[in-house]
Amino acid sequence: MRINGKSIASNLVLIIVSLLILGPLFLILNISMKTTEEFLNNPVTIFKTLNWSNFKVAWIQAEMKVYFKNSFIYTIFGALGTCVIATLAAYPIARKHFKGSNLIYLLFLSAIFLPGGLVPLLFIMKFMGFTNTYYGFILMKIAYGLPIAIFILVGFVKGLPKELDEAAAIDGCGYFRYILTVVFPLIKPAFLTVAMLSAIGIWNDFINPYLFITDKEMRPLTSGLYMFFGQYSTNWTVLSAGIILVAAPLVLLYFFLQRFIISGVTSGAVKG
């Protein structure tokens, strides 16, 4: 049997990368199951018993019931808005239904690589009355997610046969009806990919809520984790449990959608 050196090197790199990613996750999970005494005595040893009380303390101390509600509102409406707007924009751009579609597409692509202007954004949000509001923060996150969403969806739409457009036009199918009944089912993997990427960006956002949401009752879940940091000490076991609670919903969502996400990203990257 012949040994392939490239295959061994690739597998070795994948193993190293997997350990670098899974190592910190296992460390956080291990700390979350320990008592404070066990953690202070030896932080790196494996927990002896399952200490679920840390999760209860984290849920109550960080007021996660309120923050979970806010995070779900921002994430669901932000991701859904990004997907709908990106789908409606990607189809005419991919089919070049108007003059300057290539220029519009180039502007969206440039927004992926250019940093966002924080000072102008602060001025616009304040001028339009979007600060400290649910809808203002959701609209801002939709704007942040549109460039990468349109990039993925345009690449996917370009791979659809144009004969479908002609057949729908002959049958008298309306423009928006065609997008809803024909285009949308065909780009479902890319749509779910965009939804997942948008949800991750909104759910994990930590800085923007502190800049644009001053009301504590309106801040998302990531802001609750900051409550565990004290001036002189930090309860690392409860903090680790809080991190697990924050990360768990997205991990479960990715677990169920990973097949669509992988196919959507690869298709959007190579088509067009």
The model's pLDDT over 240-267, given as tens digits with 9 standing for 90+, comes to: 888 888 888 888 887 777 776 666 555 5
181 secondary structure, DSSP code: I
Q: CATH number of the domain at 216, please.
A: 1.10.3720.10
Domain-embedded: residue 21: no
Q: What's the average model confidence in pLDDT over 134-141? A: 93
**What does the block give as tokens for 217?**
């009752």
In a domain, 116, yes or no: yes
Residue 41: inside a domain: no
pLDDT above 50 (res 142): yes
- The answer to whether residue 231 sits within a structural domain is yes
Q: What is the mean pLDDT of residues 133-141?
A: 93
User: What residues make up the domain containing 142?
Assistant: 57-270
pTM for this entry:
0.82
Residue 224 contacts residue 67 (beta carbons within 8 Å): yes
Domain count, the chain: 1
Kind plus residue range of the DSSP H or E element containing 72? helix 64-95
183 lies in some domain: yes
Give me the residue label for tokens 């999970």: 29
Within 13 Å of residue 234, how many CA atoms lie on the same side as its CB?
A: 11
Whole-number average pLDDT of the chain: 83
Residue 138 maps to a domain = yes
> In which element (H, E) is residue 68 found?
helix 64-95
* Residue indicated by tokens 């780009």: 187
- Which segment of 119-128, 148-157, 188-197, 230-239 scores lowest on mean pLDDT? 230-239
- Smallest CA-to-CA distance from 222 within 256, 197, 194, 250 is with 250
